[in-house]
C-alpha cells in the first residue's frame, strides 16, 4: 500500500516536471531562434566572446537536460539544477526569481526519481522468498 502511494506521488512529480520542462524548453527554443534570426548581428549573444559562449553553453546543457528528463529523470534533474546554479553564480544573479523558477523542473525530476526508487525498495522488502 505504501509503495502504491509513493508510485502515485512519483507519477505526479514526473508529469509535473515534464509539463513545466516542456513549457520552459519551448520558451528557450523560441528565444534562442529569435536571438539567432532577429536583430543586429553585432548584438547577438553568440558572438560577444568566451564569457558569453560559456553562458550559452550552460543554457544549451540546461535545455538538453530538460528534454532528457523525459527518459532519465534523476540525472537530468541534477544536471539542470546544477546548470542553473552555475549560471546564477556566473552571472551574479542570485536575487533574480526566474532562476529559482527554472530550477523547478530539475527538482521535480529528482523528486520523481527518488520517490520511484523508494517505491521499488518498499516493494522489494515485501516480496516473500521462494525456496
* Predicted confidence (pLDDT) per residue in 35-63, tens digit: 777 766 665 556 567 777 888 889 899 99
Burial class (CB in 10 A: 0-12, 13-18, 19+), 65: buried
> 109 with 77: CB under 8 angstroms?
yes
Q: What would the grid cell of residue 6 be?
A: 509513493
Asked if the structure places residue 131 within a domain, the reply is no
Pairwise CA distance, residues 6 & 125, whole Å = 14
Check residue 67 and give its pLDDT.
Answer: 94
How many domains does the chain contain in total? 1
Asked if the structure places residue 108 within a domain, the reply is yes
Asked if the structure places residue 127 within a domain, the reply is no
pLDDT per residue over 97-123, tens digit each? 888 899 999 999 999 999 888 888 777
For residue 26, give its domain range: 2-38+45-122
Asked if the structure places residue 129 within a domain, the reply is no
Longest Cα–Cα distance of the chain, Å, equals 74
Asked if the structure places residue 33 within a domain, the reply is yes
Dihedral angle computed from the Cα positions of residues 29, 62, 90 and 113, in that order, rounded to the nearest 10 degrees: 150
Check residue 131 and give its pLDDT.
Answer: 47
pLDDT per residue over 54-100, tens digit each? 888 898 999 999 999 999 999 999 999 999 999 988 887 777 788 88
Residue 19 reports pLDDT greater than 70: yes
Residue 11 reports pLDDT greater than 60: yes
Check residue 129 and give its pLDDT.
Answer: 44
Residue 29 reports pLDDT greater than 70: yes
Asked if the structure places residue 78 within a domain, the reply is yes
Amino acid at each position: 500500500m505504501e509503495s502504491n502511494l509513493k508510485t502515485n506521488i512519483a507519477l505526479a512529480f514526473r508529469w509535473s516536471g515534464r509539463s513545466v520542462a516542456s513549457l520552459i524548453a519551448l520558451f528557450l527554443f523560441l528565444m534562442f531562434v529569435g536571438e539567432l534570426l532577429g536583430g543586429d548581428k553585432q548584438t547577438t549573444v553568440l558572438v560577444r566572446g568566451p564569457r558569453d559562449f560559456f553562458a550559452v553553453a550552460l543554457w544549451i546543457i540546461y535545455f538538453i537536460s530538460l528534454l532528457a528528463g523525459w527518459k532519465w529523470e534523476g540525472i537530468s534533474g541534477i544536471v539542470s539544477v546544477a546548470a542553473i546554479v552555475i549560471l546564477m553564480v556566473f552571472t551574479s544573479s542570485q536575487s533574480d526569481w526566474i532562476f529559482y523558477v527554472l530550477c523547478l523542473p530539475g527538482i521535480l525530476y529528482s523528486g520523481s526519481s527518488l520517490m520511484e526508487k523508494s517505491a521499488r525498495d518498499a516493494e522489494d522488502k515485501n516480496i516473500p522468498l521462494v525456496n
